Amino acid sequence: MKKSNTAVNLWIVGSIGIDDIKTRTSDRKNLMGGSLPFSTAAASFFTTTGAVGVVGGDFPAAFDRRWKAFGTDLAGVQRKEGATFRWACVYDNNMIERETLKTELGVFADFMPELPESYRRAPFVLLGNIQPELQLHVLKQSAGAKFVALDTMNLWIDIAKPALRRVIRRVDLLTVNDGEARLLTGKWNLCDCAAAIHKMGPAYVIIKKGEHGALLFSKRGVFIVPAYPVRKLVDPTGAGDSYAGAFMGYLARAGRVTDGVLREALLHASAVASFSVEGFSLECLERLTLAQIGKRVAELKRMMAV
Protein backbone atom coordinates (compact mmCIF):
# COMPACT_ATOMS: atom_id res chain seq x y z
CA MET A 1 0.00 0.00 0.00
CA LYS A 2 1.33 3.43 -0.96
CA LYS A 3 1.19 6.49 1.25
CA SER A 4 -1.38 9.09 0.38
CA ASN A 5 -1.64 12.60 1.73
CA THR A 6 -4.72 13.85 -0.06
CA ALA A 7 -8.08 13.13 1.50
CA VAL A 8 -10.28 11.78 -1.26
CA ASN A 9 -13.89 12.82 -1.79
CA LEU A 10 -14.92 9.50 -3.38
CA TRP A 11 -13.42 6.06 -3.28
CA ILE A 12 -14.22 3.11 -5.46
CA VAL A 13 -13.45 -0.57 -4.98
CA GLY A 14 -13.29 -2.92 -7.96
CA SER A 15 -11.26 -5.24 -10.13
CA ILE A 16 -8.03 -4.38 -11.90
CA GLY A 17 -7.08 -6.53 -14.84
CA ILE A 18 -5.01 -7.01 -17.93
CA ASP A 19 -7.30 -7.69 -20.89
CA ASP A 20 -7.07 -9.19 -24.36
CA ILE A 21 -9.91 -7.96 -26.54
CA LYS A 22 -10.92 -8.99 -30.02
CA THR A 23 -13.48 -7.18 -32.14
CA ARG A 24 -14.37 -7.73 -35.79
CA THR A 25 -11.72 -5.24 -36.84
CA SER A 26 -9.04 -5.43 -34.11
CA ASP A 27 -7.19 -7.81 -31.84
CA ARG A 28 -5.56 -6.06 -28.88
CA LYS A 29 -3.53 -7.68 -26.11
CA ASN A 30 -2.38 -6.62 -22.64
CA LEU A 31 -4.74 -3.70 -22.17
CA MET A 32 -5.30 -2.02 -18.81
CA GLY A 33 -8.74 -3.28 -17.78
CA GLY A 34 -11.01 -4.33 -14.96
CA SER A 35 -13.80 -2.16 -13.60
CA LEU A 36 -11.64 0.05 -11.35
CA PRO A 37 -9.41 1.83 -13.87
CA PHE A 38 -12.49 2.80 -15.92
CA SER A 39 -14.62 3.92 -12.97
CA THR A 40 -11.91 5.85 -11.12
CA ALA A 41 -10.54 7.49 -14.28
CA ALA A 42 -14.05 8.63 -15.21
CA ALA A 43 -14.71 9.91 -11.67
CA SER A 44 -11.39 11.74 -11.54
CA PHE A 45 -12.61 14.23 -14.17
CA PHE A 46 -14.92 15.57 -11.49
CA THR A 47 -13.48 14.94 -8.02
CA THR A 48 -10.53 13.57 -6.01
CA THR A 49 -10.99 9.84 -6.31
CA GLY A 50 -9.28 6.95 -4.57
CA ALA A 51 -8.92 3.43 -5.99
CA VAL A 52 -9.21 0.26 -3.87
CA GLY A 53 -8.01 -2.89 -5.60
CA VAL A 54 -5.17 -5.34 -6.07
CA VAL A 55 -2.56 -5.98 -8.76
CA GLY A 56 0.19 -8.57 -9.16
CA GLY A 57 3.89 -8.07 -9.73
CA ASP A 58 3.31 -8.15 -13.47
CA PHE A 59 1.19 -4.99 -13.49
CA PRO A 60 3.18 -2.65 -15.75
CA ALA A 61 4.61 0.52 -14.20
CA ALA A 62 3.37 2.29 -17.33
CA PHE A 63 -0.21 1.41 -16.36
CA ASP A 64 0.34 3.01 -12.93
CA ARG A 65 1.65 6.15 -14.58
CA ARG A 66 -1.22 6.35 -17.07
CA TRP A 67 -3.73 5.79 -14.29
CA LYS A 68 -2.20 8.44 -12.03
CA ALA A 69 -2.25 10.89 -14.93
CA PHE A 70 -6.04 11.07 -14.43
CA GLY A 71 -5.34 12.37 -10.94
CA THR A 72 -6.62 9.13 -9.40
CA ASP A 73 -5.20 8.33 -5.97
CA LEU A 74 -3.76 4.80 -5.95
CA ALA A 75 -3.04 4.52 -2.20
CA GLY A 76 -5.73 1.85 -1.94
CA VAL A 77 -4.21 -0.36 -4.63
CA GLN A 78 -2.39 -3.31 -3.07
CA ARG A 79 0.54 -4.81 -4.94
CA LYS A 80 0.86 -8.56 -4.23
CA GLU A 81 3.19 -11.29 -5.39
CA GLY A 82 1.63 -13.22 -8.20
CA ALA A 83 -0.25 -12.47 -11.40
CA THR A 84 -2.72 -9.68 -12.06
CA PHE A 85 -6.30 -10.71 -12.92
CA ARG A 86 -6.39 -11.55 -16.63
CA TRP A 87 -9.41 -11.59 -18.87
CA ALA A 88 -9.92 -12.15 -22.58
CA CYS A 89 -13.05 -11.79 -24.70
CA VAL A 90 -14.25 -11.62 -28.26
CA TYR A 91 -17.13 -9.38 -29.34
CA ASP A 92 -19.83 -10.40 -31.79
CA ASN A 93 -20.34 -8.30 -34.89
CA ASN A 94 -23.06 -6.37 -33.10
CA MET A 95 -20.47 -5.24 -30.49
CA ILE A 96 -22.95 -6.01 -27.71
CA GLU A 97 -22.80 -9.77 -27.16
CA ARG A 98 -19.39 -11.05 -26.14
CA GLU A 99 -17.83 -14.37 -25.34
CA THR A 100 -15.33 -14.66 -22.49
CA LEU A 101 -12.30 -16.62 -23.66
CA LYS A 102 -10.22 -16.52 -20.47
CA THR A 103 -10.64 -15.59 -16.80
CA GLU A 104 -7.55 -16.00 -14.60
CA LEU A 105 -8.18 -14.47 -11.20
CA GLY A 106 -4.54 -14.42 -10.04
CA VAL A 107 -4.08 -12.19 -6.97
CA PHE A 108 -7.71 -11.07 -7.30
CA ALA A 109 -8.75 -14.51 -5.95
CA ASP A 110 -7.46 -13.61 -2.45
CA PHE A 111 -8.32 -9.92 -2.58
CA MET A 112 -9.13 -8.46 0.82
CA PRO A 113 -9.78 -4.75 0.36
CA GLU A 114 -8.34 -2.40 2.98
CA LEU A 115 -9.22 1.26 3.11
CA PRO A 116 -6.29 3.69 3.47
CA GLU A 117 -6.68 6.09 6.38
CA SER A 118 -7.12 8.97 3.94
CA TYR A 119 -10.21 7.35 2.39
CA ARG A 120 -12.11 6.62 5.60
CA ARG A 121 -13.79 10.00 5.86
CA ALA A 122 -14.75 10.24 2.19
CA PRO A 123 -18.48 11.03 1.89
CA PHE A 124 -19.03 9.26 -1.44
CA VAL A 125 -18.44 5.58 -2.09
CA LEU A 126 -18.90 3.33 -5.12
CA LEU A 127 -18.77 -0.37 -4.35
CA GLY A 128 -17.79 -1.77 -7.74
CA ASN A 129 -18.70 -5.21 -8.88
CA ILE A 130 -16.80 -7.64 -6.59
CA GLN A 131 -17.95 -10.36 -4.15
CA PRO A 132 -20.69 -8.97 -1.87
CA GLU A 133 -18.81 -10.14 1.27
CA LEU A 134 -15.84 -7.99 0.26
CA GLN A 135 -18.08 -5.03 -0.52
CA LEU A 136 -19.49 -5.32 3.00
CA HIS A 137 -16.04 -5.79 4.54
CA VAL A 138 -14.67 -2.61 3.00
CA LEU A 139 -17.82 -0.58 3.56
CA LYS A 140 -17.54 -1.28 7.30
CA GLN A 141 -14.17 0.50 7.33
CA SER A 142 -15.74 3.63 5.94
CA ALA A 143 -16.72 5.87 8.86
CA GLY A 144 -17.44 8.93 6.71
CA ALA A 145 -19.62 7.42 4.02
CA LYS A 146 -22.70 9.56 3.39
CA PHE A 147 -23.83 8.28 -0.01
CA VAL A 148 -22.98 4.75 -1.08
CA ALA A 149 -23.63 3.28 -4.53
CA LEU A 150 -23.41 -0.40 -5.30
CA ASP A 151 -22.75 -2.17 -8.59
CA THR A 152 -23.17 -5.91 -8.94
CA MET A 153 -23.70 -8.60 -11.56
CA ASN A 154 -25.73 -11.72 -12.34
CA LEU A 155 -22.99 -14.02 -10.94
CA TRP A 156 -23.46 -12.66 -7.38
CA ILE A 157 -27.24 -12.67 -7.71
CA ASP A 158 -26.96 -16.36 -8.62
CA ILE A 159 -24.39 -17.58 -6.09
CA ALA A 160 -24.33 -15.05 -3.23
CA LYS A 161 -27.83 -13.58 -2.97
CA PRO A 162 -28.06 -13.52 0.87
CA ALA A 163 -24.77 -11.61 1.20
CA LEU A 164 -25.76 -9.36 -1.68
CA ARG A 165 -29.07 -8.54 0.01
CA ARG A 166 -27.14 -7.56 3.17
CA VAL A 167 -25.06 -5.05 1.19
CA ILE A 168 -28.06 -3.79 -0.77
CA ARG A 169 -29.80 -3.01 2.54
CA ARG A 170 -26.97 -0.62 3.48
CA VAL A 171 -26.59 1.39 0.30
CA ASP A 172 -28.31 4.47 -1.08
CA LEU A 173 -28.17 3.54 -4.74
CA LEU A 174 -28.07 0.27 -6.65
CA THR A 175 -26.94 0.18 -10.24
CA VAL A 176 -27.81 -2.90 -12.31
CA ASN A 177 -28.62 -3.64 -15.93
CA ASP A 178 -32.12 -4.64 -17.01
CA GLY A 179 -31.38 -8.39 -16.99
CA GLU A 180 -29.86 -8.20 -13.50
CA ALA A 181 -32.79 -6.17 -12.21
CA ARG A 182 -35.14 -8.91 -13.40
CA LEU A 183 -32.96 -11.69 -12.00
CA LEU A 184 -32.68 -9.98 -8.62
CA THR A 185 -36.38 -9.27 -8.19
CA GLY A 186 -38.09 -12.00 -10.20
CA LYS A 187 -40.21 -9.34 -11.90
CA TRP A 188 -40.38 -8.49 -15.63
CA ASN A 189 -41.55 -4.93 -15.73
CA LEU A 190 -38.68 -2.52 -14.97
CA CYS A 191 -40.95 -0.24 -12.92
CA ASP A 192 -41.91 -3.25 -10.80
CA CYS A 193 -38.22 -4.23 -10.52
CA ALA A 194 -37.34 -0.76 -9.27
CA ALA A 195 -40.19 -0.78 -6.74
CA ALA A 196 -39.00 -4.15 -5.43
CA ILE A 197 -35.42 -2.87 -5.11
CA HIS A 198 -36.60 0.24 -3.26
CA LYS A 199 -38.16 -2.13 -0.72
CA MET A 200 -34.79 -3.86 -0.29
CA GLY A 201 -33.28 -0.59 0.92
CA PRO A 202 -31.82 1.74 -1.72
CA ALA A 203 -33.57 5.07 -2.19
CA TYR A 204 -32.23 5.21 -5.76
CA VAL A 205 -32.05 2.58 -8.49
CA ILE A 206 -30.29 3.05 -11.81
CA ILE A 207 -31.24 0.50 -14.45
CA LYS A 208 -28.63 0.58 -17.19
CA LYS A 209 -29.70 -0.45 -20.70
CA GLY A 210 -26.41 -0.05 -22.55
CA GLU A 211 -26.86 1.69 -25.89
CA HIS A 212 -30.48 2.42 -24.91
CA GLY A 213 -29.52 4.62 -21.98
CA ALA A 214 -30.60 4.35 -18.37
CA LEU A 215 -33.52 4.89 -16.02
CA LEU A 216 -33.11 6.36 -12.56
CA PHE A 217 -35.91 5.53 -10.16
CA SER A 218 -36.23 7.51 -6.94
CA LYS A 219 -39.15 7.59 -4.57
CA ARG A 220 -40.11 10.87 -6.27
CA GLY A 221 -40.29 9.49 -9.82
CA VAL A 222 -38.32 8.38 -12.85
CA PHE A 223 -35.61 10.10 -14.86
CA ILE A 224 -34.94 8.77 -18.33
CA VAL A 225 -31.55 9.49 -19.84
CA PRO A 226 -30.61 8.23 -23.29
CA ALA A 227 -27.19 7.02 -24.27
CA TYR A 228 -25.30 9.37 -26.54
CA PRO A 229 -25.57 7.89 -30.08
CA VAL A 230 -21.96 6.84 -30.65
CA ARG A 231 -20.75 7.08 -34.24
CA LYS A 232 -17.47 5.23 -33.75
CA LEU A 233 -17.94 2.23 -31.46
CA VAL A 234 -14.49 0.69 -30.97
CA ASP A 235 -14.72 -1.30 -27.72
CA PRO A 236 -17.70 -1.37 -25.34
CA THR A 237 -15.64 -2.87 -22.49
CA GLY A 238 -15.81 -0.65 -19.42
CA ALA A 239 -18.74 1.47 -20.63
CA GLY A 240 -20.84 0.63 -17.57
CA ASP A 241 -17.91 1.24 -15.24
CA SER A 242 -17.11 4.61 -16.85
CA TYR A 243 -20.80 5.43 -16.54
CA ALA A 244 -20.98 4.58 -12.83
CA GLY A 245 -17.66 6.31 -12.09
CA ALA A 246 -18.57 9.53 -13.88
CA PHE A 247 -22.01 9.54 -12.24
CA MET A 248 -20.56 9.21 -8.73
CA GLY A 249 -17.72 11.63 -9.51
CA TYR A 250 -20.26 14.24 -10.55
CA LEU A 251 -22.36 13.70 -7.40
CA ALA A 252 -19.25 13.87 -5.23
CA ARG A 253 -18.17 17.13 -6.82
CA ALA A 254 -21.63 18.61 -6.23
CA GLY A 255 -21.48 17.34 -2.65
CA ARG A 256 -25.24 16.88 -2.46
CA VAL A 257 -27.90 14.70 -4.02
CA THR A 258 -30.78 16.75 -5.39
CA ASP A 259 -32.95 15.96 -8.43
CA GLY A 260 -31.14 18.59 -10.46
CA VAL A 261 -27.73 17.20 -9.53
CA LEU A 262 -28.86 13.64 -10.28
CA ARG A 263 -30.05 14.59 -13.77
CA GLU A 264 -26.81 16.37 -14.58
CA ALA A 265 -24.82 13.45 -13.17
CA LEU A 266 -26.69 11.03 -15.45
CA LEU A 267 -26.05 13.20 -18.51
CA HIS A 268 -22.35 13.55 -17.67
CA ALA A 269 -22.16 9.79 -17.13
CA SER A 270 -23.72 9.20 -20.58
CA ALA A 271 -21.22 11.56 -22.16
CA VAL A 272 -18.15 10.04 -20.49
CA ALA A 273 -19.28 6.48 -21.27
CA SER A 274 -19.80 7.44 -24.91
CA PHE A 275 -16.20 8.60 -25.15
CA SER A 276 -14.95 5.53 -23.32
CA VAL A 277 -16.25 3.16 -26.01
CA GLU A 278 -14.65 5.15 -28.83
CA GLY A 279 -11.28 3.53 -28.03
CA PHE A 280 -9.77 0.47 -26.40
CA SER A 281 -9.09 0.44 -22.67
CA LEU A 282 -8.62 3.99 -21.29
CA GLU A 283 -7.21 5.30 -24.56
CA CYS A 284 -10.07 7.63 -25.34
CA LEU A 285 -10.52 8.81 -21.76
CA GLU A 286 -6.81 9.70 -21.71
CA ARG A 287 -7.31 12.22 -24.49
CA LEU A 288 -10.54 13.57 -23.05
CA THR A 289 -11.03 17.04 -21.57
CA LEU A 290 -13.76 18.46 -19.34
CA ALA A 291 -14.61 20.86 -22.17
CA GLN A 292 -15.29 17.95 -24.53
CA ILE A 293 -17.50 16.29 -21.91
CA GLY A 294 -19.42 19.54 -21.49
CA LYS A 295 -19.86 19.83 -25.25
CA ARG A 296 -21.30 16.33 -25.51
CA VAL A 297 -23.64 16.94 -22.55
CA ALA A 298 -24.92 20.02 -24.39
CA GLU A 299 -25.41 17.94 -27.55
CA LEU A 300 -27.34 15.30 -25.58
CA LYS A 301 -29.53 18.02 -24.10
CA ARG A 302 -30.32 19.32 -27.59
CA MET A 303 -31.16 15.80 -28.78
CA MET A 304 -33.67 15.31 -25.97
CA ALA A 305 -34.86 18.89 -25.46
CA VAL A 306 -38.64 19.14 -25.25
For a second copy, the binding residue among 230, 254, 257, 261 (CB under 8 A) is 230
Query: Does 254 interact with a second copy (rule: CB under 8 A)?
Result: no
Query: Does 251 interact with a second copy (rule: CB under 8 A)?
Result: no
Question: How far apart are the C-alpha atoms of 74 and 71, rounded to whole Å?
Answer: 9
Least separation in angstroms between residue 184's CB and a second copy is 16
For a second copy, the binding residue among 6, 26, 30, 94 (CB under 8 A) is 94
Coil, strand or helix: which one is 100?
strand
DSSP 9: S
Question: How far apart are the C-alpha atoms of 127 and 86, rounded to whole Å?
Answer: 21
Question: How far apart are the C-alpha atoms of 145 and 205, rounded to whole Å?
Answer: 18
Q: Which stretch binds a second copy (CB under 8 A): 32-40, 102-110, 226-234, 283-291?
A: 226-234
Question: How far apart are the C-alpha atoms of 21 and 280, rounded to whole Å?
Answer: 8
Query: Does 159 interact with a second copy (rule: CB under 8 A)?
Result: no
For a second copy, the binding residue among 13, 42, 145, 267 (CB under 8 A) is 267
Please list every residue from 170 through 209 that binds a second copy, using CB under 8 A. 188-192, 209
For a second copy, the binding residue among 111, 223, 247, 275 (CB under 8 A) is 223
Least separation in angstroms between residue 247's CB and a second copy is 15
DSSP letters spanning 131-155: -HHHHHHHHTT-TT-SEEEEE--HH
Element of type H or E holding 265: helix 259-276
Q: Which is nearer to a second copy, 75 or 267 (CB)?
A: 267
Least separation in angstroms between residue 285's CB and a second copy is 21
Query: Does 229 interact with a second copy (rule: CB under 8 A)?
Result: yes
Question: How far apart are the C-alpha atoms of 131 and 5, rounded to whole Å?
Answer: 29
Burial class (CB in 10 A: 0-12, 13-18, 19+), 106: buried
Q: Which is nearer to a second copy, 93 or 100 (CB)?
A: 93
- Contact footprint for a second copy (CB under 8 A): 93-95, 188-192, 209, 212-213, 215, 221-226, 229-231, 233, 263, 267, 300-306
